[in-house]
Amino acid sequence: MHDYISIRVSEYFLELYGEKVNELNELLETSGVNFSIEPKSNDLYLSIKYDKDKIRNQQTRNAGRRKNYKVNEKGYTYGEVKQLLKEHTAEEVSIMLGMSRRTLYRHLKEYEDPTSYHIDSDKFY
């Protein structure tokens, strides 16, 4: 979906910023934004055309490593993970859950935070 903005500019603007507008257009063209100076009925207009969908897609491109926790597949709850930690070492539990020991402890710390209330039946990540 393309939208546009058209702003009336002067010849002076074209002289001062014409090259900058072209440079900006080259930089942002791949992002779905186009700048151009167009003559319309004896006036000059700076037209900015943009594609909202393309911009949103690039802003939320889901960069970074994907979570690959077996926890989600097996559906362990917070209480079950606490019970596993009583029966096994943290290293064994982290292997069972498919996450590093550091990540396991970080998630446990988040659950034990007094500002966020969790019950034992809450899903553990």
Question: Would residue 58 be called left, alpha or beta, if left means φ above 0 and alpha means ψ between -120 and 50 degrees?
Answer: alpha
Q: Grade residue 89 by pLDDT with cuts at 50, 70 and 90.
A: very high
Domain check: are 53 and 101 in the same one? no
Domain check: are 50 and 76 in the same one? no
Computed over every residue of the chain, the mean pLDDT equals 82
At residue 115, does pLDDT exceed 80?
A: no
Name the burial class of residue 67, with classes exposed (0-12), middle (13-18) and buried (19+) by CB atoms within 10 angstroms of its CB.
Answer: exposed
Q: Per the domain annotation, does 64 fall within a domain?
A: no
pLDDT, tens digit, 9 for 90 and up, residues 23-54: 999 988 888 899 989 999 889 999 999 988 88
Domain count of the fold of the chain: 2
What would the mean pLDDT of 113-120 be, rounded to a whole number? 60
Percentage of the chain modeled with pLDDT above 90: 29
Domain with 53, as residue range(s), is 2-59
This prediction has a pTM of 0.47
Domain check: are 74 and 53 in the same one? no
